[in-house]
Amino acid sequence: MKIGGIRFVLRICLVLLVSSAPLVTAQNTHLSIDASKAGAKIDRNLFGQFAENLGHGLYEGIWVGPDSSIPNTRGIRKDVVTALRELKVPNVRWPGGCFGDEYHWRKGVGPAAQRPATLNSAWGGVVDTNSFGTDEFMDFIQQIGSQAYVSVNVGSGTPQEAAEWLEYMTAAQPTALAKERTANGHPEAYKVGFLGIGNESWGCGGNMAPDYYLSQLKIYSHFVRNDNPAQQSANQMLKIAVGPGVPETEWTETVMKAWEHHDWSWNIDGLSLHWYTVASGWPPSMPSTGFGIEDYGKTLKSTLFMDEFLRKQEAVMDKYDPQKKVALVVDEWGAWLAPLPVTNPSFLIQQNSLRDAILASLNLNIFARHADRVRMANIAQMINVLQSMILTDKEKMVLTPTYYVYKMYVPFQDATFIPIDFDPGSLHRDGITLPRVDALAAKDASGRVWLEITNLDPEKPADIDADVSGMMVKSAKGETLTAAAVDSVNTFAAPNSVVPKAVSASVKGGKLSLTVAPKSVTVISLEP
C-alpha cells in the first residue's frame, strides 16, 4: 500500500476510535438565589482549628525552639505563622484532646531548662519536654491573630488547678500568680476567648456517666473564672461543656435539662460535639493515598452523616433552649484515616488529598446551614495530625488541599447565610448514592454575595446556571480547587498538585453561568 493510502486508513481508524469513545457530558444544575433573603450569621468561629500535643503537631509543626536553624520567632516557626495568618484563624483549641485531661499546666511554665520532662501517655508514651506551654501557646495565638480556646483538665485535675491556671493567664491585679506570669515575661493579662470544661469525659477524659460529669461541670463552671478586666462584659469568655461523641442523645439531654433550670451559680455557653469521618469503622483503615473512586464515594457518604448527627442533638437542645442561647460546638471533626505506613501509629500521620478538601467543604456547608445553633467548630488537626492544614518535615513545609479550602472560604466568615433553592441531583456508583452537587451562598458585610459549589462527581463536570434576584450582578469571578485524580496530594517534592486556579463565569440578564470541573470546590464572588 502507498504511503497516502496508509495515512487515509489511519485517519478513518482515528475517526472511528474517537466516535466510539464515551462522551463525558456535563450535568446541568439550576440554582435560585435571592440575595434579599437573610439567614443566620455564619460565625467565623466555625473555621476554628485544633492543636493538641500529639505527634508532630506542636513539636516540629509549630515549635522548633529559639535556637533552631529553621526561621522562628521566639521558637515558633515563621513559615507556619505566615500561612495560618492567611486563613484568618478565629480560634485554636489547646492542649487537647485526650492529652488535655492529663495535662498539668504548671509543668509548662517558667524557664525552659527547669521544666520537668514528662510522658505523653495519651499519645505514644513519648517524652514531652514541656518546652511548649501556656506562654508559648499564647505567643503563637497572638502571632497568628487568633483567640485561645483552652481546655481545662477535668479528668485528672482539680477545680483548684484549673482556677489557678485561669488566674495565671487572665489576672491583671498583682496577685501571686499574675506576678509569676510577669516574671515569666508576660506582664499583660492574656485574653482567653473560650474555656472547654473537660474533653470527651465519656471516654478518655474520665469514662464518666452523664450525671457525674454534670456534677463536675457545675463545680468547674462556677470556680474557673476569667479575671481579665477586658472580658467582663461584651467580650466575656464563653464556657463550653463536654457533649456527645455518639449519635445518641442521653448526654445532651442530661446537660441541657439541667441547664434549663440553672441559677446564678453556674452556666454554659456551648455544648461540644465530636464526630469524625471513619468510613471503614474503628480502627480507621481507609488509606489516605493510593485509593480509588469506590473509597472516595464511601468516605463522602460517611461524612454527610454529620447533618443527621447535628439534627438529633439540635432537637434535644431546642426542647430546653428554644432561644438557642447555648451554641452547639463541633470542636473535633474531620477525616480520620489509616496512619501512613512506617510512621508511629500513635502520631496519627496521614496525607491530605483532593477527596479531603471536598470532605471539608461538605462539612463547612453543613455547619453553615445549621448556623443558628452551630456557632463554632474545630477541625482536627492544624498541623501534621489527621486532616491537617499544613505538613512539615524539618525545614520543609507544604500546604494541603484542606488548607486551600479554608483559604477559599475566608469570605464566608461572619457573612450572612442566604438560602439557595436547587436540586442537588443524584450520583449512583458502587452501591452508594451521593448528591451530585452541593452549594452555599452568603452575603458579607460589604454587601457582596459569595457562592460556593462543590461538584462531588469524580468524572463529570457540572454546568451551573443561577438566577440571582435581590441585587444587580454585573460580573463574577472566582477560583476552583481540583486535580487530576481524587487521591491527588501535595508533597514536599510537588507542592502545587492541588492548588486553586481561576475559573471563568459569565453574567447576563441577572443569570450566572459557569462550568465547574469534576471533583472540585469552587468559590465565586458576585460583583454588583
Phi (first) and psi of residue 151, to 5 degrees: -100, 120
Residues 282 and 257 in one domain: yes
**Which amino acid, one-letter code, is at 430?**
D
Predicted local distance difference test score (pLDDT) of residue 24: 58
Residue 385 belongs to some domain of the structure: yes
Domain range for 485 is: 23-39+418-527
pLDDT in tens, 486-508: 999 999 999 999 999 999 999 98
Asked if residues 256 and 321 have their Cβ atoms less than 8 Å apart, the reply is yes
- Domain check: are 147 and 174 in the same one? yes
- Let me know whether 368 and 482 are in one domain: no
Gap between the Cα atoms of 391 and 382, Å rounded: 9
Residue 16 lies in a domain: no
Torsion of CA 52, 53, 56, 57, to 10 degrees: 30
Same domain, 143 and 260: yes
Asked if pLDDT for residue 14 goes beyond 60, the answer is no
In a domain, 7, yes or no: no
343 shares its domain with 370: yes
Query: What confidence tens digit (pLDDT) does each residue in 303-358 have?
Result: 999 999 999 999 999 999 999 999 999 999 999 999 999 999 999 999 999 999 99
C-alpha grid cell for residue 51? Answer: 492543636
Question: Long-range contacts of range 278-287, CB-CB < 8 Å, 24 or more positions apart?
Answer: 278/302, 278/336, 279/303, 284/336, 284/337, 284/338, 285/338, 286/337, 286/338, 287/337, 287/338
Same-domain status, 311 and 449 = no
On whether residue 18 sits in a domain, the answer given is no
- Whether 222 is covered by a domain: the verdict is yes
pLDDT the model gives residue 399: 98
Mark which of 414, 449, 472 sits at the end of a domain. 414
Q: Residue 523 belongs to a domain with what CATH number? A: 2.60.40.1180
Decide: residue 431, CB within 10 A, 0-12 exposed, 13-18 middle, 19+ buried: exposed
**Which pLDDT score is estimated for 5?**
45
Residue 258: all three cell numbers together: 439541667
Q: Are residues 111 and 193 located together in one domain of the fold?
A: yes
Do 429 and 289 fall into the same domain? no
Do 400 and 431 lie in one domain? The reply is no
Residues known to be catalytic = 200, 332
Q: Which 8-state DSSP code applies to residue 236? A: P
The number of folded domains in the chain is 2
Residues 364 and 449 in one domain: no
Structure confidence by residue, pLDDT tens digits, 155-169: 999 999 999 999 999
Q: Compute CA 42 distance to the chain's CA centroid, rounded to the nearest angstrom.
A: 14
Geometric angle at alpha carbon 287, from 483 and 389, rounded to 5° = 60
| Domain termination residue (choose one: 366, 399, 414) | 414
Domain end residue (candidates: 390, 414, 438): 414
User: Under DSSP, is residue 472 helix (H, G, I), strand (E, B) or coil?
Assistant: coil
- CATH number for 252: 3.20.20.80
* 380 is a domain residue: yes
In a domain, 142, yes or no: yes
Tell me the DSSP string of 188-209.
SPPP--EEEE-S-TTTTTT---
- Whether residues 377 and 462 share a domain: the answer is no
Do 378 and 423 sit in the same domain of this protein? no
Q: Can you give the pLDDT at residue 7?
A: 42
How confident is the model over 198-253, as pLDDT tens digits?
999 999 999 999 999 999 999 999 999 999 999 998 899 999 999 999 999 999 99
